[in-house]
Structure 1
Amino acid sequence: MKLLRYGEMGRERAGLLDEQGRIRALPESLGDLAGDRLTPQGLAEIAALDSNALPVVEGHPRLGSCVARPGKFICIGLNYRAHAAESNLPIPAEPVVFGKWSSAVVGPNDDVEIPRGSEKTDWEVELGVVIGTRGRYLTEAEALSHVAGYCVVHDVSERAFQMERGGTWDKGKGCDTFGPTGPWLVTADEVGDPQNLRLWLEVDGKRYQDSSTADMIFTVAELVSYVSQFCTLEPGDIISTGTPEGVGLGQKPPVYLRAGQTVKLGVEKLGEQTQRMVSAG
């Protein structure tokens, strides 16, 4: 299934994408795409519906984040071999973990704000993993059974805030609008092997990133297991699994985003995003 949220910001409703590419409204009685709705039981209730009997949503409504109110937005850094190389950094012995704040989460096609004082706002296409079953101290063999599905994440990053201002990476990663998520959550059964997905990103039509999740240093199963050693994973939590080579910081000379530019990105089987870069008010 491809699950999504549509409507005005803050007033989104849950829906699904049918086989003809039309949005179908899910019954309001099922609630939003958050928490228990993303558990195996919650997803089974949606799967049991006759999608052809659900009302078609007319027009082209705005899409919100495909997960409502993620409890945790956990991100992984330097998780592609070629990206570590372009960053002139060694392969990490363990996953690099940081977080995004909830105000970073926006819809897949919403505007992305370049923060005040930013000169080094950068792009990062990533595979997002959505947790569906609560788990702690998971083994790698157990990990994928706790995944509800996958989505596209744009891990927008301000490099000066991230690396030149002291402290942790978080303040360069968690700025408002820095976490476009969606367009839809694709259930794990439909995606199959998460280590064989192509992902790409373009700025104003120029392709900078074009790689595969096969280049990951730590697999999705390894990451889910690893993160669960430090916190309990809950349904609706998101793990963004790192970006491949081709970020702005890695260009020679570096290239950064400016207001007025358009960024397009996607992950195989998971859809595409398009964002306009704007200056923060």
Structure 2
Amino acid sequence: MKLVRYGARGAEKPGLVDAEGQVRDLSAHVGDISGATLGDAELARLAAIDPATLPVVQVDRYGPCVGAIGKFLCIGLNYSDHAAETGATVPTEPVIFTKATSAITGPNDHVEIPKGSTKTDWEVELGIVIGKEARYVEEADALDHIAGYCVINDVSERAFQLERQGTWDKGKGCDTFGPIGPWLVTRDEVADPTALAMWLEVNGHRYQDGSTATMVYKPAFLVSYVSQFMSLQPGDVISTGTPPGVGMGQKPPVFLKAGDVMELGIEGLGQQRQTVTAYRA
């Protein structure tokens, strides 16, 4: 299934995308697409519904494809070719950092350059959505804890991230820096999450044109690894890293400015489009 949340910010309704690409309203069957919805039994119940029996809706806005996210975790330097472009080496263990949940926004909402920013950047990433609690999970069992996958733009302010004497979180959690969606694609529809084409363009120029095939630490390993340090709860999201082509890797570097338009997508998981705006008090 392709599950969506649509409607005004803070009042999103649940839906699914049918075989013809139409959004169907799920409100009569579930309150939201969130942690309580994402277990195997509940997903099987929704999958058994005939989409033709659901009302077709016209979508003016997609919200984040998961509601009430408890933890928004990210993996740094997880693509060998991206690590090389930044001059870094692939870490011997995954780098974990967080994005504030206040950064979460819809896939086509504006991205705001934060106050004082000089180096706002882009990163197309594969998102993992947790469907079942994971605590000290073995890698062989980890995929059973994944509800599905989605597109994430891990927007980053590089000066805040790397030059402000602190953890990466400073440059990762700014408001609007976490567009998620448009779809949560359940794991049964993603045959191999490590073989998906992914891309990102700014103003029509393709900067990122990669594949999850160059991901160093794969989804099953990441879920297992993170679960050794904290329990993962249904509805938690892990953003798994980016391929090469980010702005700071260009020669000379290129950073976002007001009026720029980012378009990005991952094979089978949908596309996003964000207009960049200036900070407004």
Instruction: State the TM bucket, normalised to the shorter chain.
Output: over 0.9
1:189 counterpart letter in structure 2: D
Counterpart for residue 111 of structure 2: 112
Determine if contact 2:129/2:236 at 8 Å carries over to the other structure. yes
Q: In 2, distance between residues paired with 1:29 and 1:18? A: 16
Cα deviation per residue 1:2-42 (whole Å; 9 max; x = unaligned)? 00000001110000000111110003451111111011111
Q: In 1, distance between residues paired with 2:233 and 2:45? A: 19
Q: In 2, distance between residues paired with 1:92 and 1:276? A: 33
Counterpart for residue 48 of structure 1: 48
Counterpart for residue 271 of structure 2: 272
Matched residues, number: 280
Q: In 1, distance between residues paired with 2:240 and 2:166? A: 22
Shift of 1:135: 1.3
2:40 counterpart letter in structure 1: P
Counterpart for residue 158 of structure 2: 159
Determine if contact 2:94/2:217 at 8 Å carries over to the other structure. yes
1:31 counterpart letter in structure 2: G
Shift of 1:45: 1.6
Determine if contact 2:13/2:27 at 8 Å carries over to the other structure. no
Cα deviation per residue 1:206-235 (whole Å; 9 max; x = unaligned)? 000011101011111111110000011111
Q: Which runs of 5 or more residues in structure 2 are unaligned?
A: none
1:199 counterpart letter in structure 2: M
Counterpart for residue 207 of structure 2: 208
TM-score, normalised to structure 1, is 0.98
Percent of pairs with identical residues: 62
2:39 counterpart letter in structure 1: T
Counterpart for residue 193 of structure 1: 192
Counterpart for residue 169 of structure 1: 168
Shift of 1:192: 1.2
Counterpart for residue 22 of structure 2: 22
Counterpart for residue 12 of structure 1: 12
The secondary structure found in structure 2 opposite 1:263 is strand
Determine if contact 2:134/2:223 at 8 Å carries over to the other structure. no
Shift of 1:90: 1.1
Shift of 1:61: 1.8
2:7 counterpart letter in structure 1: G
Q: In 2, distance between residues paired with 1:104 and 1:80? A: 23
Q: In 1, distance between residues paired with 2:12 and 2:118? A: 33
Counterpart for residue 122 of structure 1: 121
Q: In 2, distance between residues paired with 1:219 and 1:27? A: 34
Q: In 2, distance between residues paired with 1:214 and 1:16? A: 28
Cα deviation per residue 1:126-151 (whole Å; 9 max; x = unaligned)? 00000001110111101111100000
Cα deviation per residue 1:252-273 (whole Å; 9 max; x = unaligned)? 1100000000000000000000
Asked if 1:35 is matched to 2:31, the reply is no
The worse-fitting range, judged by mean Cα deviation, of 42-51 and 9-18 is: 42-51
Q: In 1, distance between residues paired with 2:28 and 2:102? A: 25
Q: Which runs of 5 or more residues in structure 1 are unaligned?
A: none
Cα deviation per residue 1:181-206 (whole Å; 9 max; x = unaligned)? 00010000001111000100000000
The worse-fitting range, judged by mean Cα deviation, of 32-41 and 254-263 is: 32-41
The secondary structure found in structure 1 opposite 2:151 is strand
Asked if 1:253 is matched to 2:256, the reply is no
The worse-fitting range, judged by mean Cα deviation, of 180-189 and 20-29 is: 20-29
Q: In 2, distance between residues paired with 1:214 and 1:67? A: 25
Counterpart for residue 82 of structure 1: 81
The secondary structure found in structure 1 opposite 2:216 is coil
Determine if contact 2:156/2:177 at 8 Å carries over to the other structure. yes
The secondary structure found in structure 2 opposite 1:36 is helix
Q: In 1, distance between residues paired with 2:226 and 2:52? A: 39
Cα deviation per residue 1:121-176 (whole Å; 9 max; x = unaligned)? 00000000000011101111011111000000000000000000011000100000
Counterpart for residue 137 of structure 1: 136
1:280 counterpart letter in structure 2: Y
